[in-house]
Structures are given as structure tokens and as C-alpha cells.
């Protein structure tokens, strides 16, 4: 039963755990079916159970809406807990429908009879088992594949997920809806099995035993949770066998069982926080059996990428590129799907792609941005330099939507995006990287790329319903493209490595690749070279140069001015929250003012 | 009491680090750095962003593990000692950014600075410190979190002076301050600390202003000392501006040393960037 | 009118206990950044230890003092050997919270194993009742209100006026900076757990005295109110915990008086949710004020 309770990945461990743990307290969930009993609608039990699950979905969604949208993450867990307790208390207090504290009894069983001793008991167990199997399969729709990958990405780093265009709030609410539904379903099944239900049946301890099952089995791992769910009650039973003097104090067995459960939880958190069957990530790298249709060799990339483009999978393929661009060095792997790519020659191309006007941000009385206005021309690499504390990172945050400016407007590609959330900006093609590179640590390197694919069909409603056949092709293209990118950056050997294990340089490259996977129109790179070795920064530089030739626009924040000089046509200097001057690097270098800003600060 | 303390040690101990290697992850950020902060002098460490200045400071303070080399205070080995014990042996520290207790009043901040003193000593010391920073007298009841940038910095410096430390480590004390305030903090406050006989180790991004108040200076590039000298010498070195801007001339040589850093050898005359993809 | 006033009176009585307990809870959060769900277990433990001592013939007030000291010491051990180690293992805040929930269950069922599930009572005679204007309170309630107020005042004085108290506040707001002043932050944190244990022990016995009858669920039920009070006030804020405690206490009693006792907790939680939606950091939560962001 508890296997069904797990919907896999907990976007936020505390939040998720509390939430569905508490939801299984049951009354709010389990009673959708029993209301009918009391009111006398006398719905067939199977129907009642389905209704219950839907009610659970709605409840989960509602709570998700209130709790997840509005509140700081560390308060979300508390609020979810509180909401569940309010529901429990309401049920306890309401004698009319839920029969209050006394609970409900003589609940009908879908196979007739009531209670565990009824003759059809075993049949019911079989039905429950079947429901579990079906539920498990449904859950895999959410927890495996591209959708599960996105949810895990949100769990690992919500800001990075926003930056690649994931609707973090939406995904979290989805988790609540699904989790609520399954929790309600299992509550209903359990109540129907026992044949009676009272609010006192599910308390802290019962919630904990669910958590224990999850922790022991392996957080975010479906098989792990099933294993945990099977093991924990067994341990519970075993522990109680060795308690002496049971005959005189039969009560003692249960108590010791609970104590053992508690100790077990602590032991696992202490020594093996990922459980006995940890979340295993699928392999996509060289040597992986799945998705092996596409060659990994850089030479083979051309055909794979060509296939990909011929199919026109993502967005508009954009106007034909200058064939000279696709140098033999880079190969088509570095081809980006620049949407509505501006023509790189002619007057039209000189229009600003990004225009910020009068942006102002204050931190505690200090002006981090003091009415900053600047423009980035389409198809160029624009440098943004300035001493520490000049406001460069604040500017990036304000433009990408991570900081709300107090004044000013941001226009991107002709659209006013001032009020848009970060993920919407990313979907419009304005994608940023972070100064301290962020990655989805528990996903593999290549999954970090795969997850960035914009509008993956597997994340649509149709994709969830139709399953693998619906999105297999898109995923194959996705995998091919990610492999090609990794091969181009000579990181194929790291493809199946968890991102958390990568070195600093590899993480930087991963972040750039991930940004490229979103089909951006413009990339904002916030100090991409910080901490990179010369080898990596050389590759990085070449990559930026090639991508620019293909029409991608860059705003490059960088301290390493040699690279700024080589890459950027235009360089903007910021100091003390203001734009100091603009020009080419060689012009700026001679300006005393700029030197002064740098050295004097 | 504090004046006795000064009399006992007219010279005061120096803080020395000898071939210190330190860093967070697999690659050390600070490599083989040797420096001496002498009593009564301001030693200024400058360098571009990411050169490892803050990491060096945190390594000296036991906040980042020193993997090789030694840190000594007046000849005594204090390598990797916990911060609170260093504080008790006379090292004062003003971090960058969160340098005051925001939810404590100004006087309470000073009380914390003098935590290791007795009550009577603390009272006397507070008067002495408020004499050094008379502007703080009218702010004593304010919560430090409500102060302006310059006032905060004064509170931070006054706080660290409370314990009358022999050695002061200042991590970019002018970060986020406007030009006039920067000059005030460096020329008046930092010089004043050295004038009190303390060894001051100043880490600064604003090289020019910092070097002009420094007795000794070191330029840190890519975790290593690239140049040392007196403050005036380093300041007079025409290349410093270009080093920071990564320009031509001698600065280019420095650039190369930055590049070559992790490879361990001198760069191959700036061709690093042309390493091909694929 | 008199219903209103007497409800306020009861609210102050229960609010005083909630405030006391949530002060200890919020202190743990402030110093160790840990949501210690095991706190509920300590409340239960305090109530049952008190029960044991009263059975042994100790008077109620000496019992309270003894339990406070015992709980304080246990709380320090709990921090040193459990919470601190978990923090050092950097397992993350969520898993630590779950581990403390496991600790709660462990303590609760250990108590059941020793004392059984049946309802206990200190069996104190309610003594004479005080009538002040329309307030009607038992002498125990009055004594508890006075005691709680005195303890909270003492705690505030400690925080404000003593060097140790300032060190506590300093460590809570910036541990590294505190250490750079020579404050032994680890000891100060242990001290905070000692104080929170004292408050917890006192609150546990006071709760058992005022609720008349209780079982092993006492702490886990009460914990919800404690967390609500701490969060309403702004978690980590001592004044906030006190204000939140009284607010929750009075709201609960008012809704019990005017609506139905069964719904009283619901009203308290609705209040919590409303306050959080309006002010996500709680009434006195000043995260924004104290954060000085460097660009």
C-alpha cells in the first residue's frame, strides 16, 4: 500500500514527506467514499474510491496552490502540516457527516462483507494488489522519463530550473495533485479493508512509519519505496517478537515496534540517507543500451544532428545559416535553433534584442542598480565589465527575472518582459547562467542537458496520458542532441556521472550546454570563466564565437578582460550601480576613467 | 589594562604565513603563499577578482583548511586553530559584508567585540574606542542593522578594536562604499589601526586606494604572489593598472601566469585561447 | 461580555504556557537552524517525569523545578549527541527534521512502554479560585501565568542585559562573526539548548497541571500549537514566540467560547495561515530588515 503512496521524487523532501504523510491521516482523503455511506447515496465502493482519489487530487492541488505559490520554502512544510491538521480537526469535530471522534464503521467492502475477517478478505487483498500494480504503473508516468527528470531538477535546484524555463510552481503543484490523489486512494482502500475508520487511527507515529518506509527504501526511488514498505512492517513484527514478558504486557509489543521504527529512521538518516535502493538514474551515455540508435562519435554527429533538423522538432528552425559557419571544427553539433533568428547583416539586425531602461534596485539603502539603461544588439557578443560590487550580477538578476526591479522596464525582442517570471523569460529565449554554476546534482550530466529541452511533449497532458510512444521520437532527438553536445565539448565520458561529482570546469561547461539545449535567442553568461582552467576557457571562447556566428546573442559578464576583448564587439562598463561608459575594449583600456573605476573601485 | 598590554609588548607579534596552500575543493585556491604582517604596518594584498584573496584570509583564520605550510602568530604555530581561539590569542577579523551583528545595538556590538575582557576592562575599552570613533557616540542606541554603510564599517572596526588585538585582518572593508567613504575608511581608519601599533592585513579589490595607504603590498594572481614591495613601489609600478585590465606589455606576462596557473608552467605566449574545439 | 472576558482569561492562561514552550522552541531554531519536532517528546517527557515525582510525594512546584532541570540537561545531551552530530554530517534540514520526528515517536513510545497508554492526572486540588473583574481563574492558573511571565521576563533580561545573553543573540545572528569575537559558539549553543530545555520542562509540567488529564499524546498534540505560535511570531524571534503564544492561546479560547471547543485549534491554524499569507515571515519576523545584501 505504501508503495502507492510514493509518487517518486519529492520536490522538496520535507514538504513532500509531510504532505502525503499527513494526507494519509486519512479522514480528509478516506472519507470521500464514506460520506456517501452516511448520507446514504450508497455509491458502489469502486466508484467511491475513484471519487476519493479525485477529491484527494483536488485537495492536493488546492493546498499546493496556497502553500507552494505564496510561501517561502521553509514555511511550506509547516503550512502543509497545519492544513492537514485543520482538516483532521474539522473532521473530528463534525459529527454530522464524519461522525466525529468516533469515526465510521461498517464500511462497505467492494467485494462484499465488511472487515478483514470477511470471507472475501483474500479477494480484496488481491484487488488491492492489482490496484497497487496499476497505481505503480501510473506513477511511473510521472516519476520516470522526462517529466520525472524535470521534477527531480526542480527538487535539486529550483533557481536553475527556472533559468531553463521550467515552470517550478506548476510542477510543484502537479506533485501535490498526484500525491494527494494517491494518498487519498490508499486511504480509501485501507479504510475499506479494515471496514472502520476513525481519526485517531492515524497519528504522528503512523506518519512516521510511512516516512521510515520511504527513507529506508530510498528516497525518490519507486522500487526502493516498495521495498521499504514491505520491509518496515516485517522489521516491526520481528522487533516485537524479542520483547520479553509479552504475555503480561501485550501492549508493550507495539510500543517497542514503534521505538524500533523510530530508531531505524534515525539510523538510516545517519548512515545511509539515500536508502537501500537509491534512485538509480538511467544511462544515456556511451555504452548505454537504451537510446543507442545514435552514434556517439563526433564524426557521426553530423548525420544525427541533420536528422534532427530535418525533422524540425523544436520551435522554428530559423532561416538558413551561412554554410561557412558550420566549420569542420565544430560540426553541426554546435548548431543552435535560434528562434526568429535576426538577420545578422543589414540595418534591421542592429535593432536591440534586449533593452533595459531605468532599472533600479536597492539593497538596504545602497543602490545596487541606479537607473541603469543599456541595450544589447541582436547577433553580437556584448561585454559587461566592472569592478566588484558594480551591480553586474544584480543587473543580470533583474533582467532575467530573479530580482524584481523597483523601477524601469526590460524589453526583449520587442516584448515588454518586466513583470514576467524567470521561466517565462527563458521560454521566450532569454536564458542565463549563474556566477556560481548551478546544476541538478543528483541527475547525471547528460540528464542535466536533457531536462533543458523546451516544451518536451512528455511534459504535456497528452504526453502523460499517451506515454512513451507519444514522446519517444522527441526524446530520441533530445538524447542525440545532448550526446552531440557532450561529444563536442569532449565530455562524453562524463555523461552518466552525477552532476554533483563533476569538477568546477565541467560544471561550467555543463551549464553552458544546458543553456544551449533550451534553444535560446540570447544567453546571459554571468562570469562563465571564473575558476576555469585555460583548456576549458579556450573551448568556451571558441564555442561562444561559433554560436555568435550562428546568430545567437550574448551578454557576457566577465572579469577576464582578455577574453572580453577577443569576443566582444561592444563592452559596457558598470561601476557603483551605474553604466559608466560603452565602447570597444581597446578604446576602454586607454580611458583613464575606466582604469580608475577598476583600480580605485 | 589594555594600555598595560601594549606596554608589555612594545613591538607586538607579527602574523606570518609560510608557503600556505589552502582551498575548498580538489584544486587549491591559494598556493604557496608566504606573507608577513608586521606590527605597526599595513600589509595590503590586492589582486583581481577570484585571485584567492578572501580564501587566503579565511585560511589564516582557520575557516578554510590549510593543507600545507604554517601560520604563526608571534612565532607560535596557529595553523588551523579554531577561529574563537585565534580571536583569544589576539587576532581581530572584519569580514566582508556581514561585519556587524545586525540585531544588536551598537553598544552591544562593542560588548561582543570585548567578549573576552572583564566587565571593567570592557567599560574602559568602550570609552577608549568611542574616543577613536567619536561619530559613534550618537549612534550607541541604534541597532546595527539600521545603520548606513559607512556607519556599519565604523561599528565593525570599533568592535574589532574592543579586544585590542595585535593583528587585524580586514576583508575588503570598503566593499560597497562610495569613493569618499572608501578614502575615509582607508586613509583615516585603517592607517589609524596601524598607528596604534597593530599589524594590519588588508585585502582589497580597490587596489589604488588601498596601495596608497599600505606600507607593504603583495599582488595576488591566481592564488600566488605575483609581486611584492612597499605600497608605494607597487603603486608606482605602471603595469598594475594593466594587470587588472589584462592589457599588453608586462601585464601580459602576468596574464600568462594566470592562464598557466593550473597547468603549472608558464603560458605559451597567449595562444591558450585558440585551443580548438573538438 | 463576561464570556468574552473569561475567555480572554483562559486564553492568557493557556497562552502563557504556549508562549513559554514556543520560546524554547524558537530558541533552538534560532541557534541551530533546526526544526526540532522532538520538542514535543520533551514536553511529554516533562509531564510524565512530573507525574512520577508527584507520585513519589514531591510537591507540585518543587516537581516543576526538578523537571525543568532534568529536561534542560537532557536537552543539552540531545543537542550534543544527536542534533549537532546530524548537522555535522550535513544530511540537510529536511532529514534532520524527520530524524527529530523519529525522536518524538521514540520518546513517546518509550514513555508508553514504561507508563502505559492510560490517562494520567496530577490530581491537584484546584484550590481557591480568583475572581478579578470577570476573570475567573484557579490559583494554579494564576500561579502559572505569573511564573511564565516571570520566566519570560528573566529570559529577556538575560538576553538583553547579560554578556552571555548578548553572546547568544550574537551567535544566532552571525556565528562566524561571533566566533571571531572569541565567543565559543558551540558552548553558547549548548547553553541555548539548556535554556530551551528548562523552558520546555517548565511548560510541560505547567501544561500537565492545567490540562488535568493527559496521556502520551500530550506533547505531540501541543507541539502543533507551539509551532503555530513560533511561526506566527516569526520563527527564531523570541518576542515573536511570546506574542504568538498569547495570540494563539487567546484565539483558541475565544473560539472555544463563542463557537465550539472542537474548532478552537482550527481557528488558531486559520489565523496562522492568514498571517503567513499576509506576512510570510511572521508578525515580528524581520529577515528582510536584518539582511544586508552585498552586491
Residue in chain C lying closest to B96 (CA) = C294
Whole-number Å distance between alpha carbons of A424 and A427: 5
Q: Residue B260 in contact with residue B273, Cβ under 8 Å?
A: no
Domain of C49, CATH number, reads: 1.10.3470
Q: Does domain A335-600 have CATH number 3.40.50.300?
A: yes
Residue in chain C lying closest to A219 (CA) = C95
Q: Residue C25 in contact with residue C233, Cβ under 8 Å?
A: no
Q: Chain B partners of A329 at a C-beta cutoff of 8 Å?
A: 276-278
Q: Do B97 and C294 touch (CB under 8 A)?
A: yes
Q: Do B83 and C289 touch (CB under 8 A)?
A: no
Q: What is the pLDDT of residues A511-566, one digit of tens each?
A: 888 888 888 889 999 888 766 666 677 878 888 888 888 888 999 988 777 788 88
Chain C interface, mutation test: which of A18, A68, A82, A257, most C Cβ atoms within 10 Å? A82
Q: Chain C partners of B164 at a C-beta cutoff of 8 Å?
A: none
| Phi (first) and psi of residue A312, to 5 degrees | 55, 55
pLDDT at residue C1 in the model:
53
Pick from C97, C98, C276: CB nearest A71: C276
> Across the 295 residues of chain C, what is the mean pLDDT of every consecutive 10-residue run?
76 90 90 87 94 88 93 94 85 77 87 82 72 71 88 90 91 91 92 94 92 83 85 79 89 81 72 73 52 30
Instruction: For chain A, say whether C270 makes contact (Cβ under 8 Å).
Output: yes
Q: Do C181 and B116 touch (CB under 8 A)?
A: yes
Instruction: For chain A, say whether B278 makes contact (Cβ under 8 Å).
Output: yes
Instruction: Tell the residue number behind the cell numbers 473532521, with chain if given.
Output: A91
Instruction: For chain C, say whether B148 makes contact (Cβ under 8 Å).
Output: no
Chain C interface, mutation test: which of B54, B81, B84, B164, most C Cβ atoms within 10 Å? B84
pLDDT at residue A217 in the model:
59
Residues in contact with B129: Cβ distance below 8 Å, sequence separation at least 6, in sequence order: B110, B113, B158, B161, B162
Whole-number Å distance between alpha carbons of A174 and A155: 13
pLDDT at residue C287 in the model:
42
Q: Chain A partners of B48 at a C-beta cutoff of 8 Å?
A: 559
pLDDT at residue A114 in the model:
46
Q: Do B93 and C169 touch (CB under 8 A)?
A: no
pLDDT at residue A77 in the model:
58
Which stretches of chain B score pLDDT less than 70? 1-11, 24-27, 49-50, 176-179, 238-278
The per-residue DSSP string of A179-228 comes to: HHHHHHHHHHHHHHHHS-B-GGGS-HHHHHHHHHHHHHH-TT-HHHHHHH
**DSSP one-letter code for A314:** S
Whole-number Å distance between alpha carbons of C289 and B103: 9
Q: Residue A252 in contact with residue A246, Cβ under 8 Å?
A: yes
Residue window 22-41, chain B: list those with CB within 8 Å of chain A.
Answer: 25-27
Q: Do B50 and A596 touch (CB under 8 A)?
A: no
Q: Do A490 and B262 touch (CB under 8 A)?
A: no
Half-sphere exposure of B198 (CA within 13 A, CB side): 26
Instruction: For chain A, say whether B149 makes contact (Cβ under 8 Å).
Output: yes
Q: Residue A318 in contact with residue A337, Cβ under 8 Å?
A: yes
3-state secondary structure of A282: coil
> Across the 601 residues of chain A, what is the mean pLDDT of every consecutive 10-residue run?
27 33 37 40 57 67 64 57 60 49 48 50 69 73 76 78 81 74 66 54 56 61 60 57 50 70 77 64 62 39 36 37 36 50 46 86 76 88 81 88 88 87 88 83 84 78 74 82 82 81 79 87 85 72 84 85 84 86 80 64 45
Instruction: For chain C, say whether B82 makes contact (Cβ under 8 Å).
Output: yes
Element (H, E) at A585: helix A585-590
3-state secondary structure of B45: strand
Q: Do C294 and B82 touch (CB under 8 A)?
A: no
3-state secondary structure of A91: helix
For chain A, domain boundaries: 9-202, 203-280, 335-600
Chain B interface, mutation test: which of C157, C174, C181, most B Cβ atoms within 10 Å? C181
Q: Residue A563 in contact with residue A541, Cβ under 8 Å?
A: yes
- Within its chain, how far is the Cα of C208 from the centroid? 13
Q: Residue B37: beta bridge partners?
A: B15
Q: Do B98 and C178 touch (CB under 8 A)?
A: no
**How many helices (H) and strands (E) in chain A?**
25, 10
Whole-number Å distance between alpha carbons of A600 and B209: 5
Instruction: Count Cβ atoms below 10 Å from residue B268 Cβ, excluding itself.
Output: 12
Whole-number Å distance between alpha carbons of A280 and B57: 41
pLDDT at residue A93 in the model:
55
Q: Chain A partners of C91 at a C-beta cutoff of 8 Å?
A: 269-270, 273
Half-sphere exposure of B220 (CA within 13 A, CB side): 26
* Tally of domains in chain C: 1
Cα B120 to Cα B9, B42, B111, C157, C179: the distances in Å are: 22, 31, 11, 20, 22
Distance, in angstroms, between A573 CA and closest chain B CA?
12
Pairing relationship of beta strands A407-412 and A415-416 according to DSSP bridges = antiparallel
Chains that touch A (3 or more CB pairs under 8 A): B, C
pLDDT at residue B191 in the model:
87
Q: Residue C97 in contact with residue C103, Cβ under 8 Å?
A: no
Element (H, E) at B37: strand B30-37
Produce one character per residue of A238-260: b if its CB has 16 or more CB atoms within 10 Å, e if not: ebbeebeeeeeeeebbbbbbbbb
Q: Residue C136: beta bridge partners?
A: C131
Chains that touch B (3 or more CB pairs under 8 A): A, C
Instruction: Count Cβ atoms below 10 Å from residue A67 Cβ, excluding itself.
Output: 26
Cα C91 to Cα B169, C87, C88, C193: the distances in Å are: 33, 7, 8, 21
Q: Chain A partners of C280 at a C-beta cutoff of 8 Å?
A: 70-72, 75
Q: Do C180 and B97 touch (CB under 8 A)?
A: no
Whole-number Å distance between alpha carbons of A184 and A334: 48
Q: Residue A32 in contact with residue A48, Cβ under 8 Å?
A: yes
**DSSP one-letter code for A491:** -
| The model's pTM | 0.72
Question: Which stretches of chain A sit within 8 Å of chain B by CB?
Answer: 298, 329-331, 334, 365-366, 387-389, 488-490, 503-504, 530-531, 533-535, 537-539, 541-543, 546, 559-563, 565-566, 576, 589, 594-596, 598-601
Question: Taking the C-alpha atoms of C95, C96, C102 and C103 in order, what is their torsion angle to the nearest 10 degrees?
Answer: 170
Distance, in angstroms, between A84 CA and closest chain C CA?
10
Q: Do A205 and C108 touch (CB under 8 A)?
A: yes
pLDDT at residue C31 in the model:
86
Q: Residue C98 in contact with residue A269, Cβ under 8 Å?
A: yes
Q: C118 is in which domain, residue-wise?
A: 2-294
Amino acid at each position: 500500500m505504501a508503495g502507492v503512496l510514493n509518487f517518486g521524487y519529492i520536490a522538496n523532501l520535507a514538504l513532500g514527506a509531510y504532505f502525503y504523510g499527513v494526507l494519509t491521516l486519512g479522514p480528509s482523503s478516506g472519507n470521500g467514499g464514506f460520506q456517501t455511506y452516511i448520507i446514504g447515496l450508497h455509491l458502489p465502493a469502486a466508484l467511491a474510491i475513484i471519487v476519493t482519489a479525485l477529491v484527494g487530487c483536488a485537495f492536493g492541488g488546492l493546498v499546493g496552490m496556497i502553500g507552494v505559490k505564496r510561501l517561502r520554502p521553509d514555511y511550506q512544510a509547516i503550512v502543509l502540516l497545519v492544513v492537514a491538521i485543520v482538516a483532521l480537526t474539522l473532521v473530528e469535530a463534525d459529527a454530522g457527516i464524519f461522525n466525529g471522534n468516533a469515526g465510521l464503521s461498517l464500511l462497505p467492502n467492494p467485494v462484499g462483507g465488511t472487515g478483514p475477517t470477511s470471507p472475501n478478505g483474500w479477494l480484496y487483498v488481491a484487488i488491492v494488489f492489482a490496484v497497487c500494480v496499476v497505481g505503480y504503473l501510473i506513477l511511473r508516468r510521472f516519476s520516470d522519463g522526462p517529466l520525472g527528470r524535470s521534477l527531480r531538477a526542480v527538487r535539486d535546484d529550483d533557481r536553475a530550473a527556472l533559468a531553463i524555463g521550467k515552470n517550478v510552481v506548476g510542477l510543484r503543484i502537479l506533485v501535490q495533485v498526484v500525491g494527494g490523489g494517491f494518498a487519498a486512494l490508499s486511504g480509501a482502500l485501507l479504510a475499506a479493508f479494515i471496514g472502520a475508520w476513525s481519526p485517531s487511527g492515524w497519528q504522528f507515529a503512523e506518519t512516521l512509519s510511512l516516512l521510515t518506509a520511504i527513507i529506508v527504501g530510498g528516497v525518490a526511488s519507486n522500487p526502493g519505496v516498495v521495498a521499504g514498505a514491505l520491509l518496515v512492517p516485517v522489521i516491526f513484527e520481528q522487533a516485537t517478537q524479542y520483547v520479553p514478558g509479552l504475555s503480561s504486557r501485550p501492549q508493550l509489543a507495539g510500543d517497542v515496534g514503534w521505538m524500533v521504527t523510530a530508531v531505524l529512521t534515525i539510523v538510516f538518516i545517519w548512515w545511509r540517507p539515500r536508502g537501500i535502493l537509491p534512485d538509480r538514474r538511467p544511462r544515456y551515455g556511451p555504452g548505454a543500451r537504451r537510446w543507442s540508435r545514435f552514434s556517439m562519435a563526433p564524426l557521426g554527429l553530423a548525420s544525427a544532428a541533420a536528422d534532427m533538423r530535418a525533422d524540425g522538432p523544436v520551435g522554428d528552425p530559423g532561416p538558413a545559416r551561412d554554410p561557412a559557419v558550420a566549420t569542420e571544427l565544430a560540426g553541426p553539433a554546435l548548431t543552435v535553433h535560434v528562434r526568429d533568428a535576426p538577420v545578422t547583416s543589414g540595418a534591421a539586425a542592429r535593432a536591440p534584442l534586449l533593452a533595459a531602461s531605468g532599472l533600479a534596485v536597492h539593497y538596504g539603502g545602497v543602490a545596487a542598480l541606479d537607473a541603469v539603461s543599456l541595450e544589447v544588439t541582436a547577433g553580437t557578443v556584448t561585454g559587461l565589465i566592472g569592478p566588484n560590487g558594480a551591480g553586474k550580477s544584480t543587473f543580470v538578476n533583474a533582467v532575467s527575472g530573479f530580482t524584481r526591479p523597483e523601477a524601469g522596464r526590460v524589453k526583449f525582442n520587442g516584448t515588454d518582459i518586466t513583470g514576467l517570471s524567470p521561466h517565462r523569460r527563458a521560454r521566450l529565449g532569454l536564458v542565463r547562467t549563474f556566477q556560481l554554476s548551478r546544476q541538478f546534482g543528483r541527475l547525471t550530466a547528460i540528464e542535466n542537458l536533457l531536462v533543458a529541452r523546451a516544451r518536451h511533449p512528455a511534459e504535456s497532458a497528452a504526453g502523460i496520458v499517451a506515454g512513451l510512444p507519444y514522446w519517444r521520437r522527441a526524446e530520441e532527438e533530445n538524447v542525440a542532441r545532448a550526446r552531440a553536445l557532450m561529444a563536442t565539448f569532449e565530455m562524453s565520458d562524463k555523461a552518466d556521472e552525477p552532476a554533483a561529482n563533476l569538477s568546477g570546469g565541467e560544471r561550467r561547461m555543463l551549464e553552458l550546454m544546458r543553456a544551449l539545449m533550451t534553444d535560446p535567442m540570447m544567453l546571459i553568461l554571468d562570469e562563465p570563466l571564473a575558476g576555469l582552467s585555460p583548456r576549458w576557457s579556450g573551448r568556451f571562447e571558441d564555442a561562444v564565437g561559433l554560436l555568435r556566428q550562428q546568430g545567437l546573442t550574448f551578454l557576457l559578464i566577465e572579469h577576464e578582460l582578455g577574453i572580453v576583448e577577443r569576443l566582444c564587439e561592444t563592452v559596457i562598463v558598470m561601476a557603483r550601480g551605474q553604466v559608466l561608459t560603452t565602447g570597444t575594449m581597446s578604446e576602454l583600456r586607454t580611458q583613464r576613467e575606466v582604469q580608475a573605476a577598476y583600480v580605485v573601485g | 589594562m589594555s594600555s598595560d598590554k601594549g606596554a608589555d609588548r612594545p613591538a607586538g607579534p607579527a602574523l606570518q604565513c609560510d608557503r600556505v596552500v589552502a582551498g575548498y575543493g580538489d584544486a587549491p585556491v591559494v598556493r604557496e603563499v608566504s606573507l608577513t604582517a608586521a606590527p605597526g604596518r599595513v600589509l595590503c594584498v590586492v589582486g583581481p577578482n577570484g585571485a584567492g584573496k578572501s580564501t587566503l584570509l579565511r585560511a589564516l583564520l582557520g575557516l578554510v583548511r590549510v593543507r600545507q605550510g604554517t601560520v604563526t602568530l608571534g612565532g607560535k604555530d596557529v595553523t588551523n586553530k579554531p577561529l574563537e581561539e585565534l580571536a583569544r590569542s589576539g587576532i581581530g577579523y572584519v569580514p566582508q559584508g556581514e561585519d556587524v551583528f545586525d540585531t544588536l545595538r551598537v553598544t552591544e556590538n562593542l560588548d561582543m567585540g570585548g567578549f573576552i575582557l572583564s566587565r571593567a576592562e570592557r567599560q574602559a575599552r568602550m570609552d577608549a574606542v568611542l574616543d577613536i570613533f567619536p561619530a559613534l557616540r550618537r549612534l550607541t542606541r541604534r541597532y546595527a542593522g539600521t545603520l548606513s554603510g559607512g556607519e556599519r564599517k565604523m561599528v565593525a572596526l570599533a568592535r574589532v578594536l574592543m579586544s585590542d588585538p595585535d593583528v587585524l585582518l580586514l576583508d575588503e572593508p570598503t566593499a560597497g562604499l562610495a569613493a569618499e567613504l572608501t578614502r575615509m575608511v582607508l586613509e583615516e581608519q585603517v592607517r589609524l589601526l596601524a598607528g596604534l601599533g597593530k599589524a594590519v592585513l588588508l585585502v582589497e579589490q580597490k587596489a589604488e586606494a588601498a596601495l596608497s595607504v599600505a606600507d607593504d603590498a603583495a599582488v595576488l594572481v591566481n592564488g600566488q604572489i605575483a609581486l611584492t614591495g612597499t605600497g608605494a613601489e607597487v603603486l608606482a609600478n605602471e603595469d598594475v593598472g594593466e594587470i587588472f585590465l589584462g592589457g599588453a606589455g608586462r601585464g601580459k606576462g602576468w596574464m600568462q601566469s594566470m592562464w598557466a596557473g593550473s597547468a603549472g608552467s608558464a603560458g605559451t605566449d597567449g595562444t591558450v585561447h585558440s585551443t580548438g574545439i573538438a | 461580555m463576561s464570556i468574552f472576558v473569561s475567555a480572554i482569561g483562559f486564553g492568557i492562561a493557556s497562552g502563557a504556557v504556549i508562549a513559554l514552550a514556543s520560546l524554547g522552541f524558537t530558541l533552538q531554531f534560532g541557534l541551530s537552524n533546526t526544526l526540532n519536532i522532538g520538542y514535543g517528546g520533551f514536553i511529554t517527557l516533562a509531564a510524565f517525569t512530573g507525574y512520577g515525582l508527584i507520585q513519589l510525594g514531591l510537591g507540585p512546584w518543587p516537581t516543576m523545578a526538578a523537571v525543568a532541570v532534568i529536561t534542560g540537561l537532557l536537552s543539552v545531551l540531545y543537542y550534543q549527541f544527536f542534533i549537532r552530530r546530524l548537522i555535522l554530517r550535513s544530511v540537510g534540514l529536511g532529514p534532520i527534521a524527520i530524524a527529530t520526528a523519529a525522536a518524538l515517536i521514540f520518546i513517546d513510545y518509550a514513555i508508553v512502554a514504561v507508563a502505559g497508554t492510560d490517562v494520567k492526572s496530577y490530581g491537584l486540588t484546584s484550590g481557591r479560585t480568583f475572581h478579578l473583574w470577570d476573570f475567573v481563574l484557579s490559583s494554579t492558573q494564576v500561579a502559572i501565568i505569573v511564573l511564565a511571565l516571570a520566566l519570560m521576563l528573566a529570559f529577556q533580561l538575560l538576553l538583553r542585559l547579560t554578556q552571555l545573553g548578548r553572546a547568544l543573540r550574537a551567535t544566532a545572528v552571525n556565528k562566524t562573526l561571533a566566533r571571531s569575537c572569541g565567543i565559543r559558539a558551540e558552548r553558547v549553543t549548548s547553553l541555548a539548548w539548556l535554556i530551551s530545555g528548562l523552558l520546555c520542562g517548565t511548560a510541560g509540567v505547567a501544561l500537565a497541571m492545567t490540562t488535568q488529564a493527559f496521556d502520551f499524546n500530550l506533547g505531540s498534540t501541543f507541539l502543533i500549537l507551539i509551532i503555530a505560535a513560533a511561526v506566527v511570531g516569526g520563527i527564531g524571534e523570541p518576542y515573536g514566540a511570546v506574542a504568538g503564544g498569547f495570540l494563539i492561546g487567546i484565539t483558541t479560547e475565544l473560539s472555544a467560547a463563542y463557537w465550539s471547543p472542537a474548532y478552537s485549534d482550527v481557528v488558531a491554524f486559520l489565523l496562522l495561515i492568514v498571517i503567513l499569507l499576509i506576512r510570510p515571515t511572521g508578525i515580528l519576523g524581520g529577515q528582510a530588515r536584518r539582511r544586508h545584501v552585498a552586491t
